[in-house]
Structure 1
Amino acid sequence: MSVTVLVLVEAVNDYLPILEQQGYTLILAPTPAARAAAIAEHAERIDAVLTRGPLGFRGDEMAALPHLKIICVIGAGYEHVDLAAARAHGLVVSNGAGVNAPSVADHAMALLLALVRDIPRADASVRRGEWAKITRPSLQGKRLGILGLGAVGMAIARRAGGFDMAVSYHNRRPRQDVSYEYRESPLALAAGCDFLIVATPGGAQTRSMIDAAALQALGPQGFVVNIARASVTDSAALLQALEQGLIAGAALDVFDDEPQVPDAFKALTNVVLTPHVAGLSPQASEDTVRMVGRNLEAFFNGQPLLTPVALD
């Protein structure tokens, strides 16, 4: 069976030959203009769509593709895929849950270390010949709160053990397979930790979980790291907390309107910023594409998806 995949993502191009070697025909459309043109020109050919959470896939686009059967999402998040429309059109959706967790967890810890130890300003000091000595906190003995103890959150928690940090977490429900302390709400999590890492999926259910009250509870010695989705934090409240010293600092890999980053965040010295690269590594990109291939193979052979997304 010949299967044509509309590819909307741009970060895994080096590994797309994996799908071509499996026999899939790819139509690359990494920009909004190319996306619209590809849907208009190749509507009768497209059987599958490959996207990622921030890019999503809309209901009107699904309606324009009469032979579309499956939407594959790279990464765990699928917040801008219209799941109700997918269900209405009889489609199935898969994601890459857990595939890039090691890379994301590594980046989360790198951001935490850079933020708490103030590595960017120390580096800049040396380059300017100033040799500024700044006393900064260590991670040992600190309390780490993780919002979302899925594959990424678990990988972060394991790494935190190497720094002798006490880990607590908040999830939709407590996990029975871990010994970490469960907190009943994001507010309680923030109140009981020194460092807060946001690792929960985006979407309506998690929007602004970290709000002004949670940031106030984290306190003036607290740091927050977000490697999940910007929507999980109230960006206006976060900016105000940083400007007013209500928290000590923040490290952000995700933003509300990527790739646009508010100048107000760039102007702050207590912020570390990276361009949504936490999930990117050669191994993660290859594994992600291989997972897409396995889901496509399973679906078109009448077998269950490896990583299905519930549409109800």
Structure 2
Amino acid sequence: MSTAVRRFGAAHEVVEVEAAGMPRPGTGEVVVRMDLSAVNPSDLVTIAGAYRTRTPLPFRPGYEGVGTVVAVGPGVEDLRPGSRVLPIGTPGSWATHKVAEARWCFPVSDDIAREQAATMYVNPCTAWLMLHDRAAIRPGMRVIVSAAASEIGVMLVRMLNRAGLAPVVTVRRPDSAARLAGLAIERVLVGTPADFAPDLADVVRQGGADLVLDAVGGEVGLALSTVVRPGGQFIHYGLLSGVPLPPETWQRAPGIHFEMFWLRNWIHRQPRAEIEALLRRVEALIRSGTVASQIDSVFPLDEIGAALARVGSARRRGKVLLQP
């Protein structure tokens, strides 16, 4: 069984489930039987057509999941049937089996639960790289995290707390702040920029922010950019609002370092050893609970319509997973 997207649009309308036989690996490839796959906002944005210039139709969706190697093609030496792996680098994880290049399959330690293994790539790797590779957080920084009640938002707050930092955060609704209970937070900004404008004015009066991590874009991202101090940093890594950052975001703040961060760009520029080292760091953070994902629900692959509906539900709390 597999899934396919033949036209761009809302995921619950355009993702198709189709029968598929057991694939055969080519040279340098393996076949991975997917154990669990994750549904991420980046999947939905891609399916909607945000990156259509680099996403030819039709394509097989799903960028994250964990599985077991069941067949090995010619030229593959480091993997064998039975190896537990993350097949990253290409889509196609929303399927019973995925054909992947062996060089893009990374081992997963046996003690990592499969739900955490299925969600250890996109969010944890993005969070760690933004804080430690792109921003180099340090004591005393003031950091703002938008969409802090999202899975990656919570991870970022936990990681900042580990570094001794209590960030300013934004959430859409008052009840969303419950996800941050027990974490060190400087202040919670609730609602729209109009709602939390006085809070942003206070941040400016207190010297501004050193770093903004924005997963929302649109008016929220624009508003947060206005409180970054000269020489500060604004990292934009998601588009939860579905609205791009307005051009004036960077045009009116020439003293700020703006960066668009995409995990796939970093991954495709690194040698394998660097990616392996990153994943070992993530495993350690999963064991400590710092980047452990909250799991909302697991749906059979042939009920993907219901799974995608759950992703869009206001009642969802955590990640939605697919089980082939």
Q: How would you bin the TM-score normalised by the shorter chain? A: 0.3 to 0.5
Q: Give the structure with the higher percent strand.
A: 2
Instruction: With the length of structure 1 as denominator, give the TM-score of the two structures.
Output: 0.44
Instruction: With the length of structure 2 as denominator, give the TM-score of the two structures.
Output: 0.43
Q: Give the structure with the higher percent helix.
A: 1
